[in-house]
Structure formats: C-alpha cells, structure tokens
Structure 1
Amino acid sequence: MKVKQVISVSVFIMLLAVAAIGSAALVPKQQAEVLAKPVRVRLGIDNLDRHLAVFQGKRVGLITNQTGMTSEFESTIDVLKAKTQLVALFSPEHGIRGHVPAGAVVGSYTDESTGTPVYSLYGQTKKPTAAMLAGIDVLAFDMQDIGARFYTYMYTMAYAMQSAKENGKTFVVFDRPNPVGGLVVEGNVIQPGFESFIGMYPIPARHGLTIGELARLMNQEYNINCDLVVIPMTGWQRSMYFADTGLPWVMTSPNIPTPDTALLYSGTGILGGTNISEGIGTTRPFELVGAPWINAAELVGHMNAAGLPGVMFRPVYFTPRQPDVKYQGQLCGGVQIHVTDTPAFRPVRTGLTLLYVISEMSGGKFSFNQSATAATATIDIYTGDSNVRWGAPLAEILQQWDEAAGRFKELSRQYYLYQ
C-alpha cells in the first residue's frame, strides 16, 4: 500500500513538471495576452525636469485642482513648490481640492498645506485679474480635462491665457491625456450668439484633443496669442482611452467618478438642459437616464431597436438622493447605458437619440429647461444653437453635427502633438 502511494505521488509530481514545461513553452506565444502590461504614459508634469529652464528665476502661479498630480500620486502643487518659486494658486470650479459642488461659488483663501494664497476663478471672477498676476512671471495650468466642450476647465484655461497675454506673462500647460481618445470627434460647434462658460468657442461636444492641444488651437485660431509653452506627455497615442494609459484616475469633479463617466458625459450631459434626470444624485451619474413618468421597458425597446454602435440599454429604476437635483427622492424609470465596444461607441449620437426618443414617448411630459443666467434655453447652450429645441428632425441634426465635427477635425490636425 505504501509503495502504491509513493508511485502515485511520483507520477503526480512528474505530471506537474510536464505541465509546467508545457506552460513555459506556451509563454512566448501568449506573451502579448498574458505578460503585456498597459503602456505607461508620462504626463507633462512627470517631464518637468526636462523643462525647468522655463521656470528658472521666475515666480510661478498654478491653476490646478485634485487631478493635478504626477503618475506617482505626488501633487503638482508640491512638485512645483519644491522645484520652482511657487507663489500663488488659482482654483477652478469645484475648488482646489475638488470638494465644491457643481455650480457653487468658489472663494479665495490660503492653502493650508503650503501657506500659498489661492485665488478663485469660479464665481464673480473667472478671469485672473492684473492684481492677481502682479506677483508672478509664469502662470501654469495642470488639470485633467475630460474631452467634452461643455466642461468648464478648458474655459478657465482660455480666460487665463487671455489674461496672460494682457499682462505679459508666460502661460505653461502641463499636458494630460484626453480620456476618451483622440481619434473621434463628435457633435455640433457653438454658433455665434450661443457662447457661454460651457462653450466660448466653436468647438464640438467631443473635441478629440488633449488639453495642451486645445491650448495651441485656441491660442492661434481664436487670437489669444499669449506666450504659450506646452510641456508634452510621452507615450500617449491618439487611439488610447484612459484605461490604456496605465495612469491612475482621479475624479475630475464630484459627478465624474470614473473614465467611463467621462466617456458618457459628452452625450448624456446635454440632458442637463431638459427635465430628464441624467443620473446625478445616484452612484452612476450620466450612465443612468430617466424620469418618474418614463416607462423603462418601452424606452429600452426603442433604444435597442435604434441600432446605435457599441452600446446596449437595460431597464432600470433609480432614486436620486442628492439634495437639489432633479427628482430628488422620487423613483425614476429609465435606462442604464452599457458600453459594449468603446472605440465604436458614439456618446453624442447616443445622448441626442435618447433625448428625441424620450420626448416622443413622454406624452407631453418632456420639456426643456430655461437657463437662469442666459437669454436662451439651457439646451441651446449645450448644443450650440436652437435647432434641437425647435424640433429639427433627428437625422437632419445628426448629419449637420457630423459635418461640423468633420470640419473641426481637419482644422485641429495642425495642432496635434501626438499621432
């Protein structure tokens, strides 16, 4: 009996050895699938040491927030404090630490960790004043954009670039990835008379540029003409989505918790101009869409029948819990948007289709919101003109938007820093 056990154990060990040899032999053939790691992108701030001459002997101001950090989780504030003469900080929407709700006024204060004064650029003053810039020579910008025209960070940058030009300051952008890729451009551009702080320039809803490329385009095309320096990334390619970069994601604002949210935002973000809930006040903002008067099963049937690329819809019921949001405390029927093929998915086309389908099936309960601060309806600010509000056919709108996006993409190619 003991002999048989020894033989069995020996055979088992031999089989393990053969399996190990076989597995080892397969590794070279499967290296791409098994051993490959995500491409490691170096951010603009990671490459600071190569560009220190820009800051040498200069007093530096920095526009940043919680997303301003290196790929090793070190704050851009701390990096510049250690390597340059950092004398001032400037805060965008949501505050320097990302703790202020959307739309809330951000005040000026002193940063506790560095003792550096923080000037607000979201409230009564969106553009740095001459007094704010009097004590600096270089104004730097390091924030993660999300690739959508109606996200305010790019306009904070634009105003700062204007002020840098007017006050004779160098403007430096530490570049970061476009988390939704750099190949696809979607949506209408802002038409004259519809400009706002979520649409200052004729840029599509999904613009396909990094924040550094946007700075280059705005500086030239919209006649800002400041002394601009872009510190580029290394390793980023236009085909990359954020998951491909190997970089840590930091919430860019309270309702953009993940890169998936950023992808959806350029599409379902326009529902902010309607009485449809875009999921704010839930754990899945911009991924859940609905209202108390929507039949979830009916909406899913219409949306899946539309044949939109790279996406499927599932019926859901959700209750927004955050104070001061649409339908707070009310049960909403609607859809959850499931992206099944990220490169194929077109969020702007999807968001606009949702708007039209819900409007048609609402029995008159759908409506557009009137802006509290603009002369026109909020939806016009999001879409760039009044065609959606006046009921132009969906196919006609989509064709117009595709043509506008195509023209912008051709224009923007000359400002690319990456292939």
Structure 2
Amino acid sequence: MRAVVRNGVQVFIDDGYVNDLRDRKVGVVTNHSGYYPGRGHLIDLLIENGVKVEAIFTPEHGLRGLLPAGESYSDESYKGIPVYSLYGPRRKPPVNILKELNAVIYSIQDVGVRFYTYISTLYYTLEAAGEAGVKVIVLDNPNPLTGTVVEGPILEAALRSFVGIWSIPIRYGLTAGELAMLFNNEANLKAEVEVIKLDDWRRGMWFDETGLPWVKPSPAIVDLNSALMYPGIGLFEGTNVNEGRGTDEPFRVIGAPWLNNVKLIDEASQLGLRGVDLTPIEYRPLGTGVKYNGEECRGVEITVKDRESLRPVKLAFTLIYLLSRIHPREFKFLEHDGVYHFDYLVGRRGVRELLMGGKLDEALSIIDEGISEYMKGIRGYLMYY
C-alpha cells in the first residue's frame, strides 16, 4: 500500500494554520501547482477561509503553468486580484507592494533541480520579504526525486544567474521549505520564514510513493520520468541537439537530423552506463521555438530501468562527450555574444572544454567535487528523515 503524504497546502488548511491569517492581507507566490488535492487551489481556499488575498505573484510558465519555457508574460488578474508576473522584466516581488501585506505565502511544486527557475523565484521572494520586513510562509512540497540523492556539479559563484541562483548542486536533494531556510541563512536574506511541513513525507520517497496526484509542474515535465531525466538531459538545452521538447517524451529522447543514433548507442554501451536502456528512434519535434521543428530527427530514446542507480548528469556528460567525438563538425554548444548557455546550466567553467577535448573522466570527476562538504553543510536545514 502506498503511503499518503499531505502537502503543505493540506496541512495549512486542515490543521488550522489558515485561521491565523483570517482578515489579514496576504500575497501569494504560486501557480497551478499550489493546490489541495480534491478540494481546489490555494488562492480559492484562502478566500473561502476569510483571508484577504491582495496580490498574486507567478513564476515562469504563468499562473496556469501553460506558457512555454523562456516565454516572458505580462501582469493579469484573477477574480479581481492583481497577478504580478515574475518572469519578464520583473523577477522579484516589488518591495513596496510587500510592505502593505501582513504575510507572503509561497506554494509551488518544483522538481529538485537547480536550473529549474521556480527556486530562483523562491530566492527573490525571500530577498524582497527581507527588505520589506514581511513574513514568508512556505507551504512545503515533496522533492519528486527524493531527498537522498545529490548530484553536482556545485554552481560556482561567477556563474550565478536565474538558472543558477545559489551555489548548490544540480540535483540538490532538498524540499522547497528546506531550501528556503538554506537561502535565507546562507545568503543572509533577513526574512522571517515559517515552513508548513509535509505530513508523513520521508527523504527516500519518490513522488509516486507519496500518494499525491502528479500535476505537471511545467508543460515539459509531463511525468516523474521526465523530471528524473531533467537534471541531465536538461543540459542539452545548451546544445544544438533537441532534448525532447516538441514530443510526447520531453527529456527522455534526444536527437537531430544529422545524429548517428546507432553509433552513439553502440559507443555508449561500452561505457557501462547505469540505470537506463538506450534505443534508436526517429521522431519529428513540433512546436514553436523547439529545435528542428517539423524536421525528421534520428535520436535516442532513454528508458529508465533502475532509478536508484541512475545518475542523469553523468549520463548527459557521457552522451555529450560521445556526440562531440562522433560528430565533431555538426555538434555544437549554443553561443551568443561569447556566452554559452551550457556553462550557466552546468554551473562550472571548463566542463564544456573538457567534454569537447575528449577528457570525459576529468569532467565526470567535477560532478562529485564538494558534494561531501555540501551534504555536511545542509544537515542543519533538514526537516525530514
């Protein structure tokens, strides 16, 4: 029998925390994932319980979670409440608006990956709240990829950006609540933070063991396997290889019109990759802004066989190394004005050059650098065991 975990919204409503905010003015940082299974969205439940929702702030993909990756959008309204976009020219809740509130509630389901931008929105929410002197209440959600497996590289400070807001590993092994406490303390954001903890969640749980229904956190994270592969295959967003966007299997296929998929699979099979099967596939990605839109691609389908042993970042490094060998002319890292998006995703300078230079072992060793120290450093932020 599967365990039944209660998310932070359920605990907040059922256990009476919401009563402390009755007749109080609050702002809510959320999207479609801030919900009570079977009962509805957090915003509606707050209003039903007499909370004065004065402002809503929304991350990448918008309030409904339907907008494509990277697409900025404008402010709107929901039931007469102003909705402020935090994915456009503005990335941080306006301090002057927060100063008029009694509290800010944060409730967004992320995927436990550093370059998934919801956690950058969390960081800026804490920063703005610290400046405004308003309390932040984080309604926690499970880390879909468990809280036990961590995979680097750890971000170097020089590469901080909206796809890498703090020096943590790519797969960082914390819930949003735990991460909020780390951000607030390590970055000295000076916010007052309260975390409404999950009920009955344990660190070793995958999302499909929680009993909670899967709601796509964003359009391309269609299921748990897409989320699991995202820490690695998401790095292909910095290359000219399609990462499965525009297909029914985002982050579970890679391909390009010029890719020799049979040779790639053959060479990969000799490197002892763990946890996956690779099979050749032909597909045609479709969608605005996707790589090779409408073109026939030869690719590789990645099937998860053992998620406990799978290390998606190591898999991605290996595939990129092989692609650079098999297709030295065709394969490229995307560059604009001398800036490589891959560097910001991977979080370490030099990895790109090592992979292109045939130094796979050196690149793989960077993944593990500093992880033992990181694991020791986060002990004080852990809320679940």
TM-score clears 0.5: yes
Which secondary structure state, in structure 1, belongs to the residue aligned with residue 332 of structure 2? Answer: coil
Counterpart for residue 54 of structure 2 = 87
| 36, 51, 64: which one aligns with 1:70 | 36
Which secondary structure state, in structure 2, belongs to the residue aligned with residue 277 of structure 1? Answer: coil
Whether contact under 8 Å (2:96, 2:132) holds in the other structure is: no
Q: Give 1:85 shift.
A: 2.0
Which secondary structure state, in structure 2, belongs to the residue aligned with residue 335 of structure 1? Answer: strand
| 345, 360, 374: which one aligns with 1:408 | 374
TM-score of the two chains, using structure 1 as the length reference: 0.88
State the alpha-carbon separation in 2 of the partners of residues 126 and 176 from structure 1. 22
Counterpart for residue 139 of structure 2 = 174
Counterpart for residue 45 of structure 1 = 9
Whether contact under 8 Å (2:317, 2:363) holds in the other structure is: no
| 235, 241, 258: which one aligns with 1:276 | 241
Counterpart for residue 255 of structure 1 = 220
* Greater fraction strand: 2
State the alpha-carbon separation in 2 of the partners of residues 406 and 55 from structure 1. 41
| 298, 319, 322: which one aligns with 1:354 | 319
Counterpart for residue 388 of structure 1 = 351
Whether contact under 8 Å (2:99, 2:133) holds in the other structure is: no
Please give the residue correspondences for 1:22-61 in structure 2 after superposition, counting only pairs within 5 Å: 37-49=1-13, 50=15, 51-52=17-18, 54-61=20-27
Code of the aligned partner of 1:394? L
Whether contact under 8 Å (1:98, 1:254) holds in the other structure is: yes
Code of the aligned partner of 2:158? G
Whether contact under 8 Å (1:42, 1:71) holds in the other structure is: no
Counterpart for residue 277 of structure 2 = 312
| 133, 148, 153: which one aligns with 2:113 | 148
| 58, 80, 85: which one aligns with 1:115 | 80
State the alpha-carbon separation in 2 of the partners of residues 174 and 278 from structure 1. 32
Which secondary structure state, in structure 2, belongs to the residue aligned with residue 154 of structure 1? Answer: helix
State the alpha-carbon separation in 2 of the partners of residues 409 and 352 from structure 1. 23
The root-mean-square deviation of aligned C-alpha atoms, in Å, is 1.4
Q: Give 1:377 shift.
A: 0.8
Whether contact under 8 Å (1:261, 1:285) holds in the other structure is: yes
State the alpha-carbon separation in 1 of the partners of residues 291 and 209 from structure 2. 34
State the alpha-carbon separation in 2 of the partners of residues 324 and 384 from structure 1. 24
The range that moved more, 397-406 or 63-72, is 397-406
State the alpha-carbon separation in 2 of the partners of residues 247 and 155 from structure 1. 25
Q: Give 1:54 shift.
A: 4.6
The range that moved more, 66-75 or 167-176, is 66-75
State the alpha-carbon separation in 2 of the partners of residues 400 and 127 from structure 1. 32
Q: Give 1:56 shift.
A: 4.5
Whether contact under 8 Å (2:354, 2:363) holds in the other structure is: no
* In the alignment, structure 1 residue 265 sits paired with structure 2 residue 234: no
* In the alignment, structure 1 residue 226 sits paired with structure 2 residue 165: no
The range that moved more, 290-299 or 153-162, is 290-299
| 79, 95, 101: which one aligns with 2:68 | 101
Which secondary structure state, in structure 1, belongs to the residue aligned with residue 28 of structure 2? Answer: strand
State the alpha-carbon separation in 1 of the partners of residues 118 and 322 from structure 2. 31
Which secondary structure state, in structure 2, belongs to the residue aligned with residue 322 of structure 1? Answer: coil
Counterpart for residue 195 of structure 1 = 160
Question: Which runs of no fewer than 5 residues in structure 2 stay unpaired?
Answer: none
Q: Give 1:400 shift.
A: 2.1
Q: Give 1:55 shift.
A: 2.3
Identity of aligned residues (%): 38
Whether contact under 8 Å (2:154, 2:369) holds in the other structure is: no
State the alpha-carbon separation in 1 of the partners of residues 217 and 295 from structure 2. 27
State the alpha-carbon separation in 2 of the partners of residues 414 and 238 from structure 1. 15
| 143, 152, 164: which one aligns with 2:129 | 164
The range that moved more, 188-197 or 303-312, is 303-312
Question: Which runs of no fewer than 5 residues in structure 1 stay unpaired?
Answer: 1-36
